[in-house]
Amino acid sequence: MRLFDSIGPNPHVVRMAAAEKGLVIDKVTLDIMAGENRSSDYAKRVPSGGTPALELDDGTLVSEILAIAEYFEDIQPNPPIIGSTPAERAVARMWTRRIDLYICEPMANGFRASEGRPMFAPRMTLVSEAAAAELKAIAAEKLLWLDGLMSGDFVCGNRFTIADILLFAFVQFGAAVGQPMPAAARWLPAWRDRVAARPSAAA
């Protein structure tokens, strides 16, 4: 396997997932600031230009982070990061979907249309800067919504899952781009510290 890597929260998710699984994968680092992901052979193979992408030994290329995590789970079931039973997998996928839609998407699009605008404006259609502020507010609101629902050590109770990995990568990303964790959060700070203490967090 070979991972096409870069800066950003999405590659961080995949690196963390691989580290949790104990998978050692060769990496090719793309300079997305310079647009290498959009002007090289990579862009022909991944039409979205997004990173990361995982190239399998037979040349198959998988380029969505949750699909890559599912692949890792299939080839290396233990330790599980999605679940060991149908119920566990369903719950992890449910929370991962919610986190992705409610928090990650508005946070990322808010960044792209504001601080990230010089980089992204030539590459894609963006919402207005006023809408960017609204997207950031939505992400913060949904972080507090999630915060109010949580009580265990991790998103899925006491199981560490892909939902935690996704949330952690984007909470860290938000803190670095002007979207810090809401001050009113009660569960999130201790959860973040627990995840940050895992060796995979530094992947």
- Separation CA 91–CA 149 (nearest Å): 14
Domain finish residue from 41, 75, 109: 75
Domain finish residue from 18, 47, 75: 75
Same domain, yes or no: 197 and 123 = yes
Same domain, yes or no: 71 and 101 = no
Report if residue 81 sits inside a domain: no
CA distances from 30 to 3, 8, 9, 40, 58 (A): 10, 11, 14, 10, 21
Same domain, yes or no: 155 and 129 = yes
Model confidence pLDDT, tens digit, residues 47-102: 888 999 999 999 999 999 999 999 999 999 999 999 999 999 999 999 999 999 99
Same domain, yes or no: 19 and 91 = no
Q: Which domain holds residue 141?
A: 86-202
* pTM, rounded to two decimals: 0.96
Report if residue 80 sits inside a domain: no
In this prediction, residues 121-147 reach a mean pLDDT of 96
Q: How many C-beta neighbours within 10 Å does residue 159 have?
A: 20
Model confidence at 40, in pLDDT bands (50, 70, 90)? confident
- Separation CA 167–CA 12 (nearest Å): 11
Same domain, yes or no: 161 and 119 = yes
CATH code (residue 50) = 3.40.30.10
- Separation CA 170–CA 42 (nearest Å): 24
Model confidence at 43, in pLDDT bands (50, 70, 90)? confident
Domain finish residue from 52, 75, 98: 75
